[in-house]
Structure 1
Amino acid sequence: MEAGAPVWITRARPGAEATAERVQALGFTPLIDPLLAVAALDVEIDLDHVAALAFTSANGVEAFARLHDARFLPVFAVGRATARAAETLGFRSVSSADGDVEDLARLVVGAAGGPVLWAGAKEPAGDLVGMLRECGVMAHGIAVYETVERAPAKATLTTATTVLLHSPRAARGLAAILAERPAPNLRVLCLSKAVAAPLAGLVEPGSVAVAPRPDESAMLELLTA
């Protein structure tokens, strides 16, 4: 990619701003136009008999932190960005799986000392609670936020040369757009194979690249590959 090329950031705010800073530091022009928006849910959180917390996104951490001031419980995070969010918000003990939901489940199974509470999206991409229960870990979940779809500006699709996709749901949103407005020259960078799956048949195979590991740093490395 040429220096200064526009890179479309589709993830929801506020995470989009952090990604934009990293894209700009690499010498490209960030174009923030999310396909999803985060809406916090007003719910009560009961931590009685909870020994640890599990988060599959930074949005889950931030939504939990707005609802409850407890920071003493151990936190298990799916990846580095989620772990950083927990540390920034004052959680004292944070462990990162540095992977996907299955990696997080393995981490929790090996380290949790009691019942686990997962706090996350109303429509999660993976069933962490189910995985933990299958492994004999007492776990339950609570939805602390939801993501709602939003339409990007019409000019975004024609301006961007590369698009970053962090989630299967964002990928499904882009797939719906491309089904009506093909963009044969658009390069698509995906966080994982699951994220890339909804785009099958809608873009040229060589136009889609998948990060070698499911974290943003690995995906951003593809910008200069």
Structure 2
Amino acid sequence: MRVLVTRPEPASARTAAELERRGHEPVLLPLMQAVQQPQALAPPPLTGTAAIAVTSAEAMRVIETLTDEAQQPFLALPLFAVGRATARAARDAGFDDVSVADGDGRSLARLLIARRDPAAPIIYLTGTPRSSEFETDLAEAGYSVDIRECYRMIPATHADAEVIRMLTPMPDAILVYSSETARRLGELHNQTRETLDWRRVRFLCLSDKIASALPAEIQPNSQWSMEPREDQLLLLL
């Protein structure tokens, strides 16, 4: 099966390798790219910080750009990761005490509420744009969150001719990992709909929320995984 991978590098390369292992033909067309902002991590965690929360492995790549001295105050704290891939990236970055939620911000908030006292602040290493559920749920539970926006996700630019070349022949499925990517797919759909047959493609999304960000015209071709995890997503192929 020909499968379009839209997630940024280096994650797209790992997904491509897994697709090849399963006998599929991956096509890489990252639609978003990360701009690191390590200056957001220059101040060390506040005194008394209870834990670090992370909803993307991208934050761990920013941690890895810091000097050893700057990393240590962060590595000394327990880390709560949104899912398995982020937890794996955290361990690779040098975190020893890593807890794993069920793949979305709400489950991460529940895990922190169950494990940490609201009297101590949580430091949240995150990016923009992002969903608000995690921060909202913690705030409603009385937690103080020190938000560090250490990266930005911006659209990757591709000329229409390049998109048409990459999508010829049209893939059987497109993997969609975020609402921002879904919106970018909507832009590409509008730009190339006269040339490419988008109606035959299955849009496999990490969640129903992400599927809802696709253009209404192609939403009927969308499916989403039972849990917001890549291994579950690939089962839809």
Using structure 1 for the length normalisation, give the TM-score. Answer: 0.91
Q: Is the 8 A contact 2:38 2:62 kept in 1?
A: no
Distance in 2, Cα, partners of 1:45 & 1:129: 21
> For residue 98 of structure 2, what is the aligned residue in structure 1?
94
Matched, 1:199 2:214: yes
> For residue 184 of structure 2, what is the aligned residue in structure 1?
173
Q: Is the 8 A contact 2:109 2:134 kept in 1?
A: yes
Matches within 5 A, 1:47-126: 47-49=45-47, 50-67=49-66, 68-70=70-72, 71-113=75-117, 114-126=120-132
Identity of aligned residues (%): 31
> For residue 25 of structure 1, what is the aligned residue in structure 2?
21
Q: Given the superposition, is the C-alpha separation of residues 204 and 195 from structure 1 closer, same or farther in structure 2, using an over 3 Å criterion?
A: closer
Give 1:61 deviation, angstroms: 2.1
**Uncovered stretches (5+) of structure 1, i.e. residues with no partner:** none
Partner amino acid, structure 1, of 2:71: D
Match of 2:33, SS?
strand
Partner amino acid, structure 1, of 2:50: A
Moved over 4 A (4+): none
Q: Given the superposition, is the C-alpha separation of residues 72 and 20 from structure 1 closer, same or farther in structure 2, using an over 3 Å criterion?
A: same
Give 1:101 deviation, angstroms: 0.5
Indicate the RMSD between aligned Cα atoms, in angstroms: 1.6
Give 1:209 deviation, angstroms: 1.1
Matched, 1:184 2:199: yes
**Uncovered stretches (5+) of structure 2, i.e. residues with no partner:** none
**Alignment deviations for residues 18-44 of structure 1 (CA, whole Å, 9 cap, x no partner):** 111111111111111100011111312
Q: Which residue, 117, 120, 134 being the options, matches 1:128?
A: 134
Matched, 1:139 2:154: no
Match of 2:4, SS?
strand
Give 1:151 deviation, angstroms: 3.2
> For residue 223 of structure 2, what is the aligned residue in structure 1?
209
Distance in 2, Cα, partners of 1:186 & 1:89: 37
